Amino acid sequence: MSEAILTVEHLTMRFGGLLAVNDLSFEARRGDITAVIGPNGAGKTTVFNCITGFYKPTQGRITMRHADGRTHLLERLADFRIAQEAKVARTFQNIRLFSGMTVLENLLVAQHNPLMSASGWSIGGILGLPAYGRAERRAIEKAAYWLDKCGLTDRADDPAGDLPYGPQRALEIARAMCTEPELLCLDEPAAGLNPRESLVLNDLLRFIRKEHGTSLLLIEHDMSVVMEISDHVVVLDYGIKISDGTPPEVREDPKVIAAYLGVDDSEVEKVEAEVGL
Amino acid sequence: MEVFFQQLINGVTLGSIYGLIAIGYTMVFGIIGMVNFSHGDVFMVSTFIALIALMILTTWIGVGSILIALLIVLIVAMIFTSLVSWTIERVAYRPLRGSFRLAPLISAIGMSIVLSNFVQVSQGPRNKAIDPILNHVFVLSAAGGYQVTLSYKQILIVVVTAILLAIFWWVVAKTPLGRAQRACEQDRKMAALLGVDVDRTISITFVMGAALAAVAGTLYLVYYGVVNFHDGFTPGVKAFTAAVLGGIGSLPGAVLGGLLIGLIEVFWSAYFSVEYKDVAAFSILAIVLIFMPQGILGRPDVEKV
Amino acid sequence: MTSATDPNFARPAPPTPVARAAREALFAAIIALGVFGPLLAFRTTQDMQNRLIVETRYGLIAIVVLLVFAGRFLLSLWFTRERPEAGPALGARLSGLMPQGLRDIVRTGLPPAALVALFVYPMMILSLTGGSGALKWIDNFGIQILIYVMLAWGLNIVVGLAGLLDLGYVAFYAVGAYAYALIATKVIPATFPGLGVWAFWICLPVAGILAAFWGVLLGFPVLRLRGDYLAIVTLAFGEIIRLVLINWTAFSNGYEGISTIPRPSFFGVPFNASDTGFAATFGLEFSPVYRTIFLYYVIVCLALITAWVSNRLRKLPVGRAWEALREDEIACRSLGINTVNTKLTAFAIGAMFGGFAGSFFAARQGFISPESFTFMESAVILAIVVLGGMGSLIGTAIAAVAMIGGTELLRELDWLKAIFGRDFDPAQYRMLIFGLAMVAIMVWKPRGFVSTRMPTAFLRSRRAVSADHVKEGHG
- Tens digit of each residue's pLDDT (9 = 90 or more) over B164-201: 888 888 888 888 888 888 888 888 888 888 888 888 88
Cβ pair C40:B124 closer than 8 A:
no
Over range A215-232, report the average pLDDT.
80
Write out chain B residues lying below 8 Å of C34, CB-based. Answer: 80, 83
Please enumerate in sequence order all residues whose Cβ is within 8 A of that of B172, keeping only pairs 6 or more positions apart, or say none: B178, B181, B182, B251
Highest mean pLDDT among A41-45, B143-147, C66-70, C356-360: C356-360
Give residue A187's pLDDT: 87
Long-range CB contacts (< 8 A, 24+ apart) of A143-152? A143/A104, A143/A107, A143/A108, A143/A111, A143/A178, A143/C459, A144/C459, A146/A107, A146/A174, A146/A177, A146/A178, A147/A103, A147/A104, A147/A107, A147/A174, A147/C459, A149/A174, A149/A204, A149/A207, A150/A174, A150/A204, A151/A200, A152/A103
Round to whole Å and give the CA distance between B146 and B3: 8
Give residue C86's pLDDT: 43
What is the tens place of the pLDDT at every residue in C155-196?
A: 999 988 888 888 889 999 999 999 888 888 887 777 777 776
Cβ pair A92:C457 closer than 8 A:
no
Residues of C with CB under 8 A from a CB of A: 309, 312-313, 316-318, 320-321, 323-324, 326-328, 330-339, 345, 453, 455-463, 465-466, 468-471
Give residue C349's pLDDT: 93
Our CA-based measurement puts residue C174 at a distance from the nearest CA of chain A, in whole angstroms, of 27
Phi, psi of C234 (to 5 degrees): -65, -35
Over range B200-205, report the average pLDDT.
89
Write down which chains contact chain C via at least 3 CB pairs under 8 A: A, B
Side-chain-side CA neighbours of residue C287 (13 Å): 16
Round to whole Å and give the CA distance between A166 and A202: 13
Instruction: Flag whether pLDDT at B281 surpasses 90.
Output: no
CB A179 within 8 A of CB A173: no
Please enumerate in sequence order all residues whose Cβ is within 8 A of that of C217, keeping only pairs 6 or more positions apart, or say none: none
In 3-state terms chain C splits into helix, strand, coil percentages (rounded to 5) of 70, 5, 30
Round to whole Å and give the CA distance between A206 and A213: 10
Mean residue pLDDT of chain B comes to: 85
The more confidently predicted of residues C354 and C424 is C354
Please enumerate in sequence order all residues whose Cβ is within 8 A of that of B195, keeping only pairs 6 or more positions apart, or say none: none
Over range A160-189, report the average pLDDT.
86
Please report whether residue A168 resides in a domain. no
Mean residue pLDDT of chain C comes to: 80
- Coil vs helix vs strand at C277: coil
The 8-class DSSP code of residue A191 comes to T
CB C261 within 8 A of CB C362: yes
CB A152 within 8 A of CB A160: no
Round to whole Å and give the CA distance between C337 and A64: 19
Mean residue pLDDT of chain A comes to: 81
Please report whether residue A229 resides in a domain. yes
Give residue B148's pLDDT: 80
Give residue B83's pLDDT: 93
Give residue A60's pLDDT: 84
CB B119 within 8 A of CB B44: yes
Round to whole Å and give the CA distance between B149 and C425: 47
Over range A189-196, report the average pLDDT.
82
Q: What DSSP assignment string belongs to B207-230?
A: HHHHHHHHHHHHHHHHHH-EE-TT
What is the tens place of the pLDDT at every residue in B214-240?
A: 999 999 998 888 888 888 888 898 898
Cβ neighbours of C418 (radius 10 Å)? 9
Round to whole Å and give the CA distance between A205 and A229: 8
Give residue C82's pLDDT: 52
CA distances from C452 to A105, C101, C388 (A): 16, 14, 11
The 8-class DSSP code of residue C462 comes to -
Please report whether residue A228 resides in a domain. yes
| Claim to verify: residue A17 and residue A127 sit in the same structural domain | no
Round to whole Å and give the CA distance between A224 and C366: 75
Q: Does A48 touch chain C (CB under 8 A)?
A: no
Give residue C88's pLDDT: 47
Sign of CA dihedral C314, C317, C321, C322: negative
> Residue A190 maps to which CATH number?
3.40.50.300
Round to whole Å and give the CA distance between A131 and A140: 14
Give residue A250's pLDDT: 79
Give residue C174's pLDDT: 92
What is the tens place of the pLDDT at every residue in A85-112?
A: 778 888 888 888 888 888 888 988 888 8
Over range B259-285, report the average pLDDT.
85
| Claim to verify: residue A85 and residue A106 sit in the same structural domain | no
Give residue C224's pLDDT: 77
Instruction: Flag whether pLDDT at B123 surpasses 80.
Output: yes
| Claim to verify: residue A91 and residue A134 sit in the same structural domain | no
Round to whole Å and give the CA distance between C337 and C320: 11
Structural domains counted in chain A: 2
Percent of chain C having pLDDT more than 90?
11
Instruction: Flag whether pLDDT at C212 surpasses 80.
Output: yes
Tell me chain A's radius of gyration from C-alpha atoms: 20
Round to whole Å and give the CA distance between A200 and A194: 10
Our CA-based measurement puts residue B295 at a distance from the nearest CA of chain A, in whole angstroms, of 19
> What is the β-pairing status of strands B137-141 and B148-151?
antiparallel
**Reported ipTM:** 0.86
Taking each continuous run of H as one helix and of E as one strand, the counts in chain A are 12, 10
CB C240 within 8 A of CB B286: yes
CB A253 within 8 A of CB A222: no
Instruction: Flag whether pLDDT at B21 surpasses 70.
Output: yes
CB C161 within 8 A of CB C326: yes
Over range A6-21, report the average pLDDT.
83
Our CA-based measurement puts residue C92 at a distance from the nearest CA of chain B, in whole angstroms, of 9
Domain boundaries, chain B: 2-234
Q: Which helix (H) or strand (E) holds A81?
A: helix A79-84
Instruction: Flag whether pLDDT at B84 surpasses 60.
Output: yes
Give residue C94's pLDDT: 47
The more confidently predicted of residues C84 and A135 is A135
Side-chain-side CA neighbours of residue A117 (13 Å): 4
Cβ pair C334:A90 closer than 8 A:
yes
Give residue C104's pLDDT: 60
Cβ neighbours of C37 (radius 10 Å)? 17
Give residue A2's pLDDT: 67
Give residue A272's pLDDT: 55
- Coil vs helix vs strand at A184: strand
Please report whether residue A245 resides in a domain. yes
Q: How confident is the model at residue C91 (pLDDT cuts 50, 70, 90)?
A: very low
Q: How confident is the model at residue C1 (pLDDT cuts 50, 70, 90)?
A: very low
Give residue B217's pLDDT: 92
Least confident of B93-102, B168-177, C359-368: B93-102
Give residue A137's pLDDT: 86
Write out chain B residues lying below 8 Å of C437, CB-based. Answer: 110
Highest mean pLDDT among A113-122, B270-279, C92-101: B270-279
Give residue C422's pLDDT: 66
Round to whole Å and give the CA distance between B207 and C318: 46
Give residue A262's pLDDT: 62
Q: Looking at the DSSP assignment, which residues form a beta bridge with residue C413? A: none
Please report whether residue A176 resides in a domain. no
| Claim to verify: residue A91 and residue A186 sit in the same structural domain | yes
C247: nearest CB among B55, B97, B275: B275
| Claim to verify: residue A11 and residue A88 sit in the same structural domain | yes
CA distances from C270 to B175, C136, C206, C363 (A): 74, 21, 21, 13
What is the tens place of the pLDDT at every residue in C214-248?
A: 999 888 888 777 777 788 888 888 889 888 888 88
Round to whole Å and give the CA distance between B241 and B22: 8
Over range A194-216, report the average pLDDT.
84
Write out chain A residues lying below 8 Å of C457, CB-based. Answer: 102, 104-105, 108, 136, 140
CB A42 within 8 A of CB A36: no
Round to whole Å and give the CA distance between C37 and C57: 10
Instruction: Flag whether pLDDT at A71 surpasses 60.
Output: yes
Cβ neighbours of A191 (radius 10 Å)? 17
Cβ pair C469:A119 closer than 8 A:
no
CA distances from C34 to B10, C38, C39 (A): 35, 7, 10
Q: What DSSP assignment string belongs to B43-100?
A: HHHHHHHHHHHHHIIIIII--S-HHHHHHHHHHHHHHHHHHHHHHHIIIIIGGGTTS-
Write down which chains contact chain A via at least 3 CB pairs under 8 A: B, C
Over range B255-280, report the average pLDDT.
86
Least confident of A75-79, A265-269, C126-130, C209-213: A265-269
Round to whole Å and give the CA distance between C207 and C358: 8
Q: How confident is the model at residue A40 (pLDDT cuts 50, 70, 90)?
A: confident
Round to whole Å and give the CA distance between C147 and C157: 16
Write out chain C residues lying below 8 Å of A121, CB-based. Answer: 318
Tell me chain B's radius of gyration from C-alpha atoms: 19
Name residues 240-259 of chain C within 8 A of B (Cβ). Answer: 240, 243-244, 247
Least confident of A209-223, C43-57, C73-87: C73-87
Q: How confident is the model at residue A273 (pLDDT cuts 50, 70, 90)?
A: low
Q: What DSSP assignment string belongs to B112-131?
A: HHHHHHHHHHHH-SS-EEPP
In 3D space, the residue among C199, C172, C201, C202 whose CA is nearest the CA of residue C260 turns out to be: C199
Distance of CA A205 to the CA centre of its chain: 10
C229: nearest CB among B84, B110, B293: B293
Write out chain A residues lying below 8 Å of B305, CB-based. Answer: 45, 49, 54-55, 92
Please enumerate in sequence order all residues whose Cβ is within 8 A of that of B23, keeping only pairs 6 or more positions apart, or say none: B168, B209, B212, B243, B251, B254, B255
**Residue C103 buriedness (CB in 10 A; 0-12 / 13-18 / 19+):** middle
Task: Tell me the residue range of the domain where A237 lies.
Answer: 4-97+182-275
Cβ pair C235:B237 closer than 8 A:
yes
Highest mean pLDDT among B185-194, C8-17, C209-218, C449-458: C209-218
The more confidently predicted of residues A214 and B140 is A214
Cβ neighbours of B62 (radius 10 Å)? 8
Q: How confident is the model at residue C271 (pLDDT cuts 50, 70, 90)?
A: confident
Phi, psi of A240 (to 5 degrees): -120, 145
C438: nearest CB among B101, B113, B198: B113
Over range C117-146, report the average pLDDT.
77
Our CA-based measurement puts residue A256 at a distance from the nearest CA of chain B, in whole angstroms, of 27
Cβ pair C339:A80 closer than 8 A:
yes
| Claim to verify: residue A132 and residue A239 sit in the same structural domain | no
> What is the β-pairing status of strands A33-37 and A59-65?
unpaired
In 3-state terms chain A splits into helix, strand, coil percentages (rounded to 5) of 45, 25, 30
Round to whole Å and give the CA distance between C88 and B104: 18
Name residues 77-116 of chain C within 8 A of B (Cβ). Answer: 89-91
Instruction: Flag whether pLDDT at A24 surpasses 50.
Output: yes
Cβ pair C236:B282 closer than 8 A:
yes
Q: Does B305 touch chain A (CB under 8 A)?
A: yes
Round to whole Å and give the CA distance between C195 and B231: 45
| Claim to verify: residue A149 and residue A126 sit in the same structural domain | yes
Cβ pair C330:A158 closer than 8 A:
no
Phi-psi region of B96 (alpha: psi -120 to 50; beta: other; left: phi over 0): alpha
A99: nearest CB among C330, C335, C471: C471
What is the tens place of the pLDDT at every residue in C391-444?
A: 788 888 888 888 888 888 877 776 676 666 666 677 778 888 888 988 988 888
